[in-house]
Amino acid sequence: IVIADDASELGATCAKALKGYGMDVVLCPKDGDAVLTAIKREKPDVLLSDVFMPNNDILGVLDSMKSIDKKERPMVMVMSSFDNQQLEKATLEAGASYYFLKPFDINTMAERIIKLS
């Protein structure tokens, strides 16, 4: 799992919880370009990312991921503190599998990742 949030307590908390479920986790900067680089380098099964990032938001990342072979694309789960149904719909239509509204329960997040991946 690549978590696009290496500078916040939430990123570290998510990483710790997911490791507790036996998952391999890599933290990368909350930056769209860094996320795309991490996806190509790590080839994760899952990307957990915030909607809003410098250089490329999640919609841009999802669009750029179309150039990656479908078998190598991670499932994308998105986190946001911005409660907007249009943004949630656009994110899911662009290819995200799940949209978490912050704050969320870390164990529920881990269970969703296990269930969907």
Whether 1 is covered by a domain: the verdict is no
For the cut 90, the answer to whether the pLDDT of residue 7 exceeds it is no
Beta bridge mates, 48: 3, 77
Which residues form the domain of 111? Answer: 6-116
The tokens describing 59, both together, are 């919609």
How many separate domains does the chain show?
Answer: 1
pLDDT tens, residue by residue, 41-81: 999 999 999 999 999 999 999 999 999 998 989 999 999 99
Whether 54 is covered by a domain: the verdict is yes
51 and 78 Cβ atoms separated by less than 8 Å:
yes
pLDDT tens, residue by residue, 67-76: 999 898 999 9
Whether 19 is covered by a domain: the verdict is yes
pTM listed for this prediction: 0.94
77-100 mean pLDDT: 96
